[in-house]
Structure 1
C-alpha cells in the first residue's frame, strides 16, 4: 500500500447515519446523529452530557489549507500523511489536561478512532480569540506600519519583531457576522475589543455578562498550562486560537466549554526554544508550510493579495507541491504530537475502511 493510500482527503462521503446534511469545513466534516442514536450512545457509554443532548460524529481529514486554499502534493499526496491523527491527538491531550486542572470540559465525549471524535452539539460563542505572548505575524506587520492599538489594547513603542510581550494579549475577532451592533462591521473575522463584547454580550451569544470574565480566565489559564508544558520540551508557545460554546451537562446545566481544536500546529505558532535563544525563529507549526509557499512561488503576492483570489485558487488547483515538502510537514506534525503526548503516532493503513468498520460494529452508526 502506498503512502498516498494512507491519507484521508475526502471525509464528507462516509455512510454514517445522519438526519442532516454533512457540514464539511476545510479540515473536518460533521455528521449530526438523529435523536435516537444520540440518546442510545449517551445511555450506553455514560457520556457526561444531558440525556437528550444532540451528538455528532466529527471526522478529521489529512488535508492542508493555507492562504484560504487546499494544497496537494506530487505522487497522489492529497494531504499530509498523519496530519489529522496528529491534530486530534494534540487536542485530546490538551482538552484532557484542561479538565484535569479544573478549567472546563470540551465538546468531545468519545474518540473511537485517531481520526474521529464523537462530540456534543454546543451553542457557539461568536468569538475567535487569539492569545499572543510574542509580537509576530500579522500583529508585527501592523505594528511595523505604525499601528499601536489592537482590540482596544495599546502597545508600547520600541518593540522588536518576535519579541516576548510583557503580558499575554487577548485579541478577539468575530466568528461569523454580528448584526445590528454599532461600530462593528457586519463581516466575519472583525477585530473587536473587550468593551465591544461587554456592551453587546448577547449579540456575541454569551448567556451572561459575567461569562466574559469566565471566558477570559479560561483563555489565560489554558494558554499558561500549554505554555508551561511546552517549555518543558524546550518549545515556545507563541500564540494560539481558542473557541468556546455552551453545552448542557449531565445535570442539565448549561456550561461554557472549549470547542474546535486547541494547541495544535494548525491553530498555534510554536517555535523551537534553542533556536530562538540563538536569535533564529524555527517554526514548528503550519507557519512552516506557509513560509514554504511564499518562497516556492515566483510571485508570492498571489498568496497574500486578496484582490488576486481567483489566481490563488487556480494556483492551488493546478500546482502539485514537491512530495519532500509534504513529507517534511508531516514530520513536523508527527514529532510535535509525539513530543506533547509522549506516545508514538500510528498511521492507519486504510483510514476510510477502518472508520466505517468501527462505527458499524461498535456504534451501529452505518446504514
Structure 2
C-alpha cells in the first residue's frame, strides 16, 4: 500500500509520515500503518517498494517482542502484516542513534577529516567499517519535515529537549537494546552495525516506540567475510537501506535543494524489494510470506481490533 485515508471510530488525529500513516484513537491509542513508501536523505522517493511495509512491520514486531524485558514498548497488537496498534506516548524530540562501526554518515564525517560527531570524540587510525572501541551514541533531532540534524548530549540537555535524568535513562536503554540487537544478529550470522531508537513516555514510564532493528532503522553486515574484507580494503556485504542511498549518490542526488530525484526503473524497484525480503529472512530465520490485503480488509480488521485494544 502506498497511502491510506481511513476514518476510524474515535479517531482524533491523523499524521502522514515519510513512510507511515498514523491514526490517533481517543488520544490514547495509535494505529500505525506502515506503507510501501521509501525515503532516503529525508526525501520520499517517487515509487513504492512492494512488501516493504510488511517487512518493516513484521521485523519490528519480532524485535520489540524480543526486547520487552529491557524496556517497555508501545505495542498492544499486530492485527495485520503492515499494521500495529499501540499506546500513544509523549514522544521525546530526539532520535537515539547508536553506532558500533565507522560506517555511513559517521564514515563520511570521518573521511572529511573531522574527529568529532555529535560531541563524541572519534579515535584516529580507523578505516571505513572498522569497529569502534565501544559503541557510540550520536543523537539527532527529530524533524517532522526536512532533515534530522546531528546534536550532542550537552546540547540536548542545555536546550531542555530532554532532562538530564531522562536522557541518562535513554542512553542506558539505547546501549542495552543495541547489545541485545547485536546478540540476535550474531545468531543469524549478521553484525548489527548501527541503528536508531525512538522513545516516548506516559507519565513517568519510558517506552520504546516505532520500529526496532528493521532495515529502515538499522544497518547489518554479514559476519562471514567481514574480517577478510576489512583486511583487503573491500566493501562489506550489507543488508540495509544504505545501498539505496549509494545508488542515489551515484546518480548525483543527496536530497539537497535543486537536486532532481533520479528515475527508479522497475528492475531497481524489484531489487530493493528483494533486498528487504532478504533481510527479513536472514534476521528472523523465517520464510517471508507475501500477503496482499485490500484497503477494505485493512479497515475492517483495524476496526475489529480497536474494539478489544
Counting matched residue pairs gives 302
Contact 1:109–1:120 at 8 Å: present in 2 too? yes
**What is the CA distance between 1:359 and its match in structure 2?**
2.5
**Which of these residues, 9, 16, 19, is aligned with residue 17 of structure 1?**
9
Name the larger-Rg structure: 1
Q: Is the 8 A contact 1:89 1:341 kept in 2?
A: no
What stretches of structure 1 of length at least 5 have no aligned partner?
A: 1-7, 36-53, 73-77, 178-186, 249-253
Q: Does 1:216 align with 2:171?
A: yes
Report the secondary structure of 1:215's partner residue. Answer: helix
Kindly indicate whether residue 209 of structure 2 is the aligned counterpart of residue 259 of structure 1. yes
CA RMSD of aligned residues (A): 2.3
Q: Which of 278-287 and 14-23 deviates more?
A: 14-23
**Distance in 2 separating the partners of 1:196 and 1:140:** 22
State yes or no: 1:94 paired with 2:46. no
The DSSP-based 3-state class of the residue aligned with 2:185 is: helix
Q: 1:31 is matched with which residue?
A: 23
Q: Structure 2 CA distance, aligned partners of 1:151 and 1:334?
A: 33
User: How do 1:91-170 residues align onto structure 2 when only pairs under 5 Å count?
Assistant: 91-99=60-68, 102-170=69-137
Conservation of the 8 A alpha-carbon contact between 2:41 and 2:147: no
Matching of residues 35-50 of structure 1 within 5 Å: none
Q: Secondary structure at the match of 1:284?
A: strand
The aligned counterpart of 1:172 is 139
**Preserved contact between residue 81 and residue 347 of structure 1 (Cα < 8 Å):** no
Contact 2:9 2:303 in 1 (8 A): no
How does the TM-score come out when normalised to structure 1? 0.76
CA deviation after TM superposition for structure 1 residue 360, in Å: 3.9
Whole-Å Cα distance in 2 between the matches of residues 246 and 233 of structure 1? 32
Deviation at 1:19, TM superposition (A): 3.8
User: CA separation of 1:361/1:137 partners in 2, compared to 1, >3 Å: closer, same or farther?
Assistant: closer
On the 8 A contact 1:18/1:31 being kept in 2, the answer is no
Q: C-alpha separation between the residues in 1 aligned to 2:294 and 2:237?
A: 32
Q: Distance in 2 between matches of 1:189 and 1:288?
A: 20
Q: CA deviation at 1:362?
A: 4.8
Q: CA separation in 2, counterparts of 1:20 and 1:322?
A: 39
TM-score (norm 2): 0.89
Quote the offset at 1:34 in angstroms: 2.7
Residue aligning to 2:181:
226
Residue 330 of structure 1 corresponds to: 273
